[in-house]
Amino acid sequence: MTDRNNNKDKTPYDKTLGETLRSRGISRRSFLKFCAATASMMAMSPAMIPKIAHALESARRPSVIWLSFQECTGCTESLTRAHTATIESLIFDSISLDYHHTLQAAAGHAAEEAREIAMKENFGKYLLVVDGSIPMDNPGYSTIAGISNYDMLMETAKGAAAIIAVGTCATYGGIPHADPNPTGAVSVGDLIKDKPIINVPGCPPIPVVITGVLTHFLTFGSIPELDHIGRPKVFYGQSIHDRCYRRPFYDKGLFAETFDDEGAKKGWCLYKLGCKGPTTYNACATTKWNDGTSFPIEAGHPCLGCSEPDFWDGGGFYKALSMPTENITQTAIYTAAGAAAAGVALGAMNRSKKNKAITAHDNTTIDDLEK
């Protein structure tokens, strides 16, 4: 009736995800609940739930090697301290995390040996997750077990089936890359050109976005559809602005001018307070943070644009994207009237300003903060 005894001789890598979950006493009904939540977080149609269940049940447990370079461990914190334990940890526990120097018990030679064994046993099949940027000026700026970040990345990437760059540091250089970039920090994509790379930016990324990418790989055995800078479209396909519940205020030309004026109290649009929502692509406005409680704009703070390249050098967090030269209210009214071209032009104008600010390295000053 069942083939449960046939699993005795299987190694952890041979077991399917379904077998792993069942061996932990997780019922099929619980698994269906997990799949429903997974479909929701991956912005898939609920009609996909049975397909996700079938694909995940038969997926092999993958080996994952996680390398951390110039980073603050915020990305790992985001994932491991997530409140939605039954979703993130279920998928996180179902992979074979063979190397992660913050989480693993092994240290020193034993830790490095674990990485080497995982690479050898799963050559061509393991997933490589990287957080943090790589210093290129001097290899001594960041080393692990005496191995430079560059050498460890290039050695480990050789046998990877795919690479997931987690966090804005690994994807675009992040804060270490910010002007004047003292360590010569570069991203994973700057160094590796012959492997599929999935960029999952954010400072940190939303935890379900990290596990969502892992789940997609397990479910479909392929990498998700990516945008022009390597981000999965399912999570980064729409701007914060387009999915923001405050968007109707923008369309009506109603803006908070300061953090304590009437507009702020009424929850009006934060565009004039420097919100980078119009040029930022991420899932914060729908997936939200802290178990779907809220996101920065809902808490009354403008979006910093942390999932975009060079967000730290974008011209000041509290400086409006097009404030100096444009009448935002008028532009917003044009957009509200259905003039899509005005919206496109505004986006282009904002991107252009951001690029100029990056070039000129427009520092954020106390005046900006007090605006």
Which residue bears the tokens 């049975």?
50
**The token pair that represents 247 in the structure block:** 């968007």
* Binding test (CB under 8 A) with another protein, winner from 10, 54, 266, 361: 266
* Binding test (CB under 8 A) with another protein, winner from 14, 248, 341, 360: 248
Residue 185: φ, ψ to 5°: -70, 135
* Binding test (CB under 8 A) with another protein, winner from 41, 169, 203, 206: 41
Indicate whether 86 belongs to the interface with another protein (CB under 8 A). Answer: yes
114-153 burial: b if 16+ Cβ within 10 Å, else e: bbeebbeebeeebbbbbbbbbbbeeeebbebeeebbbebb
Q: Whose Cβ is closer to another protein: residue 123's or residue 245's?
A: 245
Indicate whether 32 belongs to the interface with another protein (CB under 8 A). Answer: yes
Q: Tell the smallest beta-carbon distance from residue 260 to another protein (Å).
A: 9
Indicate whether 245 belongs to the interface with another protein (CB under 8 A). Answer: yes
Indicate whether 83 belongs to the interface with another protein (CB under 8 A). Answer: yes
* Binding test (CB under 8 A) with another protein, winner from 184, 237, 267, 347: 267
In order of 163, 181, 210, 357, the CA distances from 310 in angstroms are 21, 11, 21, 10
Q: Tell the smallest beta-carbon distance from residue 157 to another protein (Å).
A: 34
* Binding test (CB under 8 A) with another protein, winner from 121, 151, 190, 298: 298
In order of 56, 219, 221, 307, the CA distances from 53 in angstroms are 5, 8, 14, 30
Q: Which residues are within 8 A (CB) of 91 and not within 5 positions of it... i.e. 6 or more apart?
A: 38, 211, 214, 215, 218
* Binding test (CB under 8 A) with another protein, winner from 264, 323, 345, 349: 264
Whether 236 contacts 285, CB under 8 Å: no
Indicate whether 27 belongs to the interface with another protein (CB under 8 A). Answer: yes
Query: Cα–Cα distance between 14 and 147 in angstroms, integer?
Result: 31
Applying CB under 8 A, which residues contact another protein? 1-2, 22, 26-30, 32-34, 36-37, 39-41, 43, 45-47, 49, 83-87, 90, 243-249, 264-267, 285-287, 291-292, 298, 300
